[in-house]
Structure 1
Amino acid sequence: MSSEKGTGAQSEGYGSDADARDDAVFKALANATRRRILDLLRAEPMTTGAVAEAFPELDRTTVLQHIRVLERAELLTGRRVGKTRVLALAPLPIKRIHDRWIGDYARAAVDMLAMLDDEGTATSPD
């Protein structure tokens, strides 16, 4: 496959480990429950039990499955404190997605809006 010079696609390479990591992040973020778990953990680390209690409509096993998907995507980390497990948000994969995909697209959109604004200003009557 070809890729344009200077894009994240060339530097990361399609089919690379980076693509597999990005796929795992996108898969994890595609589910509303998992996004809600990340929102909870954004405020502060929580125990697995506290996260499960925040979803009374789901059984504990289902919440734990969602947590495992988030851990595989490296979006959260867990550590043992005695008999409990404390979960914390790990924002680096989201930053990686932003840097690789969103940042470039947002920059292009802002440049396009600026160009349209300049054209509108140049042609507007005084």
Structure 2
Amino acid sequence: MLNEEERLDLVFRALADRTRRTLVERLLRGPATVSELAAPLPMTLAAVVQHLKVLEAAGIVRSEKVGRVRTCRIEPAPLREGESWIGDRRTTWESRLDALDGLLAAPRRDAPAAAPDTTEGTSP
């Protein structure tokens, strides 16, 4: 049984490839056969099958074979886990950046006071 970190590694590794992300995007619209998934891609059917195996190993895609037709569908749970992991980090970094923003906006104690504007009221 994989622990949470190992599952996330599989998910992010699977999604690191553009072709696999394209397959996921297509499957988010609904189930599709392997042939339907392969049709718009500039690669062999065998190459698409290999990409689908990586997605299945990560739990992102589930396939079912009926006769000679293999139909794939998305499994949302691993994608939600990845989104949750990213969201946790985003929350942490947003609070850190907000704190930094506050520090940068506050006047510095050791900075010299701005000199008064003496050009007002004089003509060139």
Fold-level similarity (TM above 0.5) = yes
Q: Provide the C-alpha distance between the structure 2 equivalents of 1:105 and 1:17, rounded to a whole number of angstroms.
A: 19
Q: How much does 1:119 deviate?
A: 5.5
> Percent sequence identity over matched residues?
32
Matched, 1:38 2:50: no
Size of the alignment, in residue pairs? 106
Q: How much does 1:122 deviate?
A: 6.6
Q: How much does 1:17 deviate?
A: 2.7
Query: Gapped runs of 5+ residues in structure 1?
Result: 1-15
Structure 1 17/117 Cα, relative in aligned 2: closer, same or farther at 3 Å? closer
Q: Provide the C-alpha distance between the structure 2 equivalents of 1:34 and 1:22, rounded to a whole number of angstroms.
A: 16
Greater gyration radius: 2
Query: Gapped runs of 5+ residues in structure 2?
Result: 108-124
Q: How much does 1:73 deviate?
A: 0.5
Root-mean-square deviation over aligned CA pairs: 2.0
With 86-95 and 66-75 compared, the bigger mean Cα shift is at 86-95
Question: Which residue of the partner structure matches residue 52 of structure 1?
Answer: 38
Q: Provide the C-alpha distance between the structure 1 equivalents of 2:76 and 2:40, rounded to a whole number of angstroms.
A: 21
Q: Provide the C-alpha distance between the structure 2 equivalents of 1:83 and 1:107, rounded to a whole number of angstroms.
A: 47
TM-score by length of 1: 0.71
Q: Provide the C-alpha distance between the structure 1 equivalents of 2:32 and 2:48, rounded to a whole number of angstroms.
A: 13
CA deviation string 1:41-65 (max 9, x = no partner): 111111111001121x101111100
TM-score by length of 2: 0.72
Q: Provide the C-alpha distance between the structure 1 equivalents of 2:7 and 2:39, rounded to a whole number of angstroms.
A: 29
Question: Which residue of the partner structure matches residue 115 of structure 1?
Answer: 99
Matched, 1:105 2:76: no
Higher share in helix = 1
Partner SS, residue 74 of structure 1: coil
The letter of the residue matching 1:44 is G
